[in-house]
Each structure stands twice: as C-alpha cells, then as structure tokens.
Amino acid sequence: MGRKIDKVLVTGAAGGLGNALRGHMKDEYALLRLSDINEMRPADRGEEVVQCDLADRDAVVALCEGMDAIIHFGGFSHEADWDTIHSANILGAINLWEGARIQGVDRVVFASSNHAIGLYRRDMRLDHTTPPRPDGRYGLSKAFGEDLAALYAYKFGVRGFCVRIGSCFDQPVSARMLHTWQSRPDLARLVRAGLTAEYVFEIVYGVSDNMDSWWDNSRAYELGYAPQDSVEQWRAQIEGIVPTDPIDATFQGGPFAADEFVGEPKRVP
C-alpha cells in the first residue's frame, strides 16, 4: 500500500487546465495548495493560494513543503524563444523536482505534451514506450520534464506520472483533434489515476476515448484511467477543418511541427 495522498500542490492553477482541475478536485483532498505566477481566485475552504515564480528555486522548495503529491501544470504552454522556455519550463521543472525531493513528496503528475512526440508521422501508432521526438523548443522542454521525472523516480524515489496531453479544451476545433482531443473531465480522471495508482515512473497519453486516436493508451487503462468522453459527437463539425500546410498535415504535432520546419518532410522517417 502506498502513502495516503491528502495534501496536493497544483502548479499552473491560474491557467485553463489548472483552474479546471481546481474545480474538479475541490473537496477531494484535505488540502489543495494552488500556485501560479499570475493572480488566482482567493482560496476557498480546503484551499491555499500561493503566488510563486517556478524559476525562483527557494520559493518553489518552500511551496512543496508538507505536500504528498504535486500536479505540475505550470509553465509556458506554447512555442517560445529559448529564454522563455528555459526559465518557465526547464529551470521551473528542475526547481519543482528538487523541491519534491527535498520535501519528501511522494509523486509528481506532470503535464507533458503531444509536442514531445510531435515529429512522428500521423500514420504512426505510438504508446508508452515511444521515445520523444520533440517538434520544437516547447516540445523539447516537455521531453526534458519526462527525463527529469525518470531521474527523480528511479534515483530518489519521487514517483513520476507523465501525461502527454493531446488537446484538452472544452470543445475540439479542428480535424486534428479527432485524434488528440481530451475532455477536461477525462483529464481529471487521468490525473486521479496518477494520484492513486501504484507505479514508479510512467508515461501515458492525455486523450479521451476517441475512435481515431494516434496513441495506444493501454498502459493508462491498466493504471486505472477510464475515459468517459469521446470526440465523435463533434466529428461532422470539425472533420473539414484540415491543414493546408503539408508539414502540418504530415506530423502529429501539426502547426507546432510546421513552425520553423526546414526542408522536405520525407527526410523524417
């Protein structure tokens, strides 16, 4: 039997997904400590709100004090220049896992991204054993986060649950999301699996029960994820919204893969 998870830190709590998880997880844990660099709604019952820059090591170590688990969703969520990615996602992740190690946190559920594997072709089926193939600086920072999680899991005993999230929005908006969409309630279901299952280090996919998913998510199912939503109800609305850029149309990362891509896609196996 693993440690009881009572006190949970959520980073990125002012963001779209962090704020949604705040709602889904309300009253499920003795304490939700919510953190972001930006302002958040005031704390409700069972909550604490702590504004903090992930790049500030001492502040992040203090933030992790007394926590059983961390849902690490804070960081820059799109492509950006190296300085931005380095500060929020690379240094931020290092500080977060150092804080977890120093404060004896049991586990970290990490918002990785499909952009860690964005330069695989759309006709390839990937699973939890597929190594990263980042489609940019942002995707690389997510692959780095996965490796950090593995280091701290295998070497220091901080369990790591890396969720390669597809496209998690209220509604899908393009044909690409027939493959990548995850509802926010399904994301909360997957995060709960990450907070309760027995494991050391895992990679899973943040995707609903979509008919045409690019990803074999059987490992997530073994660990307790049971999605209840599917993108199918929107198929007619979105299947015509297809990319005109051939690079976008070739790779799973779509527009992120096409951004700054040089040369012919056929040189990428």
- Which position's Cβ is nearest ligand 15L? 167
Q: By CB under 6 A, is residue 213 in contact with ligand 15L?
A: no
Q: By CB under 6 A, is residue 114 in contact with ligand 15L?
A: yes
Residue 127: how many CA atoms within 13 Å on its side-chain side?
Answer: 7
Q: How far is the CB of 139 from ligand 15L (least distance, A)?
A: 8
Structure tokens at 80: 């950006």
Q: By CB under 6 A, is residue 115 in contact with ligand 15L?
A: yes
221 in active site: no
Which of 19, 113, 210, 250 is in the footprint of ligand 15L by CB under 6 A?
113
Measured CA to CA, the distance from residue 151 to residue 159 in angstroms comes to 10
Burial, 212: exposed, middle or buried (Cβ in 10 Å; 0-12, 13-18, 19+)? exposed
**H helical segments located in the chain:** 16-24, 57-63, 82-85, 92-102, 137-156, 177-180, 184-196, 218-222, 235-238, 246-250, 255-258
Q: By CB under 6 A, is residue 98 in contact with ligand NAI?
A: no
Residue 77 or 217 with smaller CB distance to ligand 15L: 77
Measured CA to CA, the distance from residue 189 to residue 159 in angstroms comes to 18
160 binds, among ligand 15L, ligand NAI, none (CB under 5 to 8 A by kind): none
Q: By CB under 6 A, is residue 145 in contact with ligand NAI?
A: no
Q: How far is the CB of 173 from ligand NAI (least distance, A)?
A: 11
Q: By CB under 6 A, is residue 141 in contact with ligand 15L?
A: no
Note whether 170 and 184 are within 8 A (CB).
yes
Interface with ligand 15L (CB under 6 A): 77-78, 113-115, 167, 180
